[in-house]
Structure 1
Amino acid sequence: MANCQKLFDEFLEKLDIVDSKTTSMRTSKDNLKDKIVSYFQKNHSEYTPEFFIQGSYKMGTSIRTKDDECDLDLGVYIKPKPDVSAATLQQWVFDAVDGTTSATPSKKNKCIRIKYSAGYHIDLPIYRKDKTGDEIPELAIKSVGFEKSDAKGIVEWFNGKKKDNSQLVHLIKYLKAWADNIRESMPPGLAWTIMTVKNQKKKDGRDDIALRDTLKEILSSLEDRFECKVPAEPFDDIFDNYSDDKKNKIKEYLQKFIDDATKAINEPNEKKASRIWQKHLGSRFPEGEDKDNETQSKLNALRDSILSKTARVGTTGAFGALTTGVAGATHTNFGD
């Protein structure tokens, strides 16, 4: 069996957002906050905007996509509750940030998106909340109006789950990278986060085995009931509107990944194993050395037994770390 943990560690580094881009995103985020505050002071002074970084960036599960893109979610909370439609509230924030970049902001159903030429975008989900802040905020959704949505609650839920569990974050990043590599029919990152939390199988020091076993648990849970409920308001099912074809496609992708992950884990040659992982995780997954890990382990054990004077000759003439047989002569040739 090839132990590819070193390759998975290198892969995690390749998924990380580089420091220069992180700095740029933070600067852009602060600039957007200033623009929104200034706009409301001039045009709607009776309301005060507040901000909360949320989503994968806040949870520490962000990755760079294979196109070298990344994103940040900046929640915009307007209080006290404006007595306007969700579309109007979105329009106010759109007007506040329009002109920030050369590209016109996009009006998504649940946010305003600003794309930057440096290879990232910032999403602005917009909420209204009561003055005291005691109630669950209401998200402005262009197509349906306002809906209670506790983005902070999701972050708090996840932070409680990842405490003393670094492998959980690793697994989520691998699954998001896999989904990004395939893209077609794949659920959003939040779905993979929720499913990984609920179905994680740990294996200390072996992310490859933990990933394969977690995939098995996810598939088993979806075979039982194809749902993924958000663990905070509005407690909705992310898969609620998925067609049967899309559900079946997701399960097919899972099964293929499970089958190949098992092959990679059982493959003794590190290079061959890494190429199997690359089929699903993409070309950024490092290529291993053309060596047989199992054979190398046996050679290492033989070396250690010789140096520790525990090597023996068996009845067949085999020499190695045996429990019976004739003890080998003391090894004294340690080199210069």
Structure 2
Amino acid sequence: MADIDCHGEMTAFHRDEVTLSSAQQKDMRERRDNGRTRLQNGLTVADHPQPREVKSQGSYQMRTMVQDSGNDYDIDDGTYFEQDDLKDSNGTALSPVAARQRVCDALKWDGRFKQEATVKSNCVRQEYAVGYHIDVPVYRVVKTVNGSGESVEHYELASGDDWVKSDARAVTRWFNDLVGELNQGESDGSQMRRVTKLTKKFARRESWKDETTSGICITKLVVDHFVHKETRDDLALRETWKAIESKLLASTEVKHPVNSANLAEHGDEEVVFFRDCLSSALKTLQVLDSAETTRKKAREAWDEVFDTTFFTDRPDNDVDGGNGKGSAITVTTVETARRSDGGGRFG
């Protein structure tokens, strides 16, 4: 049995069709920064205290955001207020709804936006005409004293009608720390980030993205089941998908990376949808295992998986009759993916 090496094609796809362009990233940063300035100005005009800090979080900060044909991007920019600064004119603590409303009012204080900020259940949302939006979760910093008499603090999110202990920055640290740890060892954290983005790109097909699971669920599944393959992003992606499929066939429960809550429960419909799409993709990719597979057939399989023509549009697709002898692709022997710690197969 042979394996078609499509690493070159996959890295080009990641670069050109998955990763946000420099212009897109610059535009998002500018809009994020302008939003922070609007918030500061709006609070000042209303004579309200400023947040202690404003921090980006989620896929934007983890650098796992992927291109979307409809510019459907979500930037999370958390605002953290001291607990004593979230009070009304009478000194009464703001409810979670009132805290979000204060931030919303500050963002739309001058009425310049055609699409004004709105209060959502877990954030304040500012939509932009270009298609994407910035979500501003509102947190309060709560200080307590532990059993040793030391002052400690935690963060509570204004969620619905409640203050819920939460801090999305912990999720960002969880992912970025793992990338750093892998880069210091035998594995490649940058490859894990690329596999995460490629998987999110796969799942966010235009006709799927309203039915599939969330980006954080996909990220957690990739991290838990990542299979490193040196200089082979295509093989790392496929082997990781096999491991994820095996896990989801047993249970669709997905644990939260930093707290005791679950991201998804057993039987979750969106995770089931993602699993079924993944299973279909893996069946399509079985053609890569055939010794008779040509470069053209391999690229056609990846095109079908990603709903694109990028792979077959590569300039050397018909070189050598598409038989895989060109420099952009090689045929190598399949080797079983094994753990370096003696733990047997990965996934």
Query: So what's the TM-score if we normalise by structure 1?
Result: 0.79
Which structure has more relative contact order (CA 8 Å, sep 6+)? It is 2
Number of residue pairs matched? 296
* Counterpart-to-counterpart distance in 2, 1:122 and 1:213: 34
Shift, 1:16, TM fit: 1.8
C-alpha spacing 1:223/1:249, structure 2 compared with 1 (3 Å)? same
The match for 1:94 is 104
Higher mean C-alpha deviation, range 84-93 or range 144-153: 144-153
Confirm or deny: 8 A CA contact 2:143 2:153 kept in the other structure: no
Which deviations, in whole Å up to 9, do the C-alpha atoms of 1:195-224 show, x marking residues without a partner? 101100111122221111111111222233
| Per-residue CA distance 1:149-207 (angstroms, 9 max, x = gap) | 12121111111211212110111011110111132421111111111011001111222
Name which of 274, 281, 286 aligns with 2:299: 274
CA distance in 1, matches of 2:47, 2:201: 42
Paired position in structure 1 for 2:135:
123
Structure 1 equivalent of residue 240 of structure 2: 214
Deviation at 1:92, TM superposition (A): 0.9
Matches within 5 A, 1:60-75: 60-75=63-78
Partner residue in 1 for 2:343:
none
Q: Does the Cα contact within 8 Å between 1:264 and 1:277 map onto a contact in 2?
A: no
Asked whether the 8 Å contact 2:99–2:138 carries over to 1, the reply is yes
Deviation at 1:119, TM superposition (A): 4.0
Structure 1, unaligned stretches of length 5 or more?
A: 302-336
Matched, 1:85 2:100: no
Contact 1:8 1:285 in 2 (8 A): no
Tell me: CA distance 1:140–1:186, structure 2 relative to 1, closer, same or farther (3 Å): same
Q: Hey, what's the Cα distance between the residues in 2 that align with 1:24 and 1:15?
A: 17
Matched with 2:162 is 145
Match of residue 255 from structure 1: 279
Q: Which secondary structure state, in structure 2, belongs to the residue aligned with residue 21 of structure 1? A: helix
Conserved? CA contact 1:201–1:213, under 8 Å: yes
Letter in 2 for 1:220: S
TM-aligned CA distance change 1:208 to 1:186, over 3 Å: same
Aligned to 1:191: 217
Q: Which amino acid aligns with 2:193?
A: V
Bigger drift between 69-78 and 167-176 goes to: 69-78
- The structure number with the bigger radius of gyration is 1
Q: Which position in structure 2 is the counterpart of 1:160?
A: 177
Residue 76 of structure 1 corresponds to: 79
2:174 & 2:103 partners in 1: Cα distance?
28
Q: Is the 8 A contact 1:76 1:126 kept in 2?
A: yes
Question: What is the rounded CA distance, in whole Å, between the counterparts of 1:205 and 1:281 in structure 2?
Answer: 21
Shift of 1:279: 2.0
Residue of structure 1 aligned with 2:251, choices 225, 244, 249: 225
Q: Which moved more, 1:200-209 or 1:64-73?
A: 64-73
TM-score, structure 2 normalization: 0.77
CA distance in 1, matches of 2:309, 2:130: 20
Task: Give the Å deviation of 1:270.
Answer: 2.2
Tell me whether 1:36 sits opposite 2:39 in the alignment.
Answer: yes
Partner of 2:336: none
Segment drifting more, 246-255 vs 272-281: 246-255
3-state secondary structure, aligned to 1:48: coil
Percent identity between the two aligned chains? 28
In the TM superposition, what is the alpha-carbon distance from 1:283 to its structure 2 partner? 1.7
Alignment match, 1:320: none
- Give the whole-Å Cα distance in 2 for the aligned partners of 1:49 and 1:2: 53
Q: For residues 60-87 of structure 1, give each alpha carbon's deviation from its aligned partner in whole angstroms, at most 9, with x where no partner exists.
A: 1111113244332111111135322111
After superposition, the Cα gap between the structure-2 partners of 1:150 and 1:277, relative to the gap in structure 1 and judged at 3 Å, is same
Where does residue 312 of structure 1 map in the other structure?
Answer: none
Answer yes or no: is the 8 Å Cα contact 2:76–2:136 preserved in 1.
Answer: yes
Partner of residue 112, structure 1 = 124
Secondary structure of the residue aligned to 2:153 is coil
Q: Distance in 1 between matches of 2:287 and 2:121?
A: 42
Unaligned runs of 5+ in 2: 87-92, 145-150, 184-188, 332-347
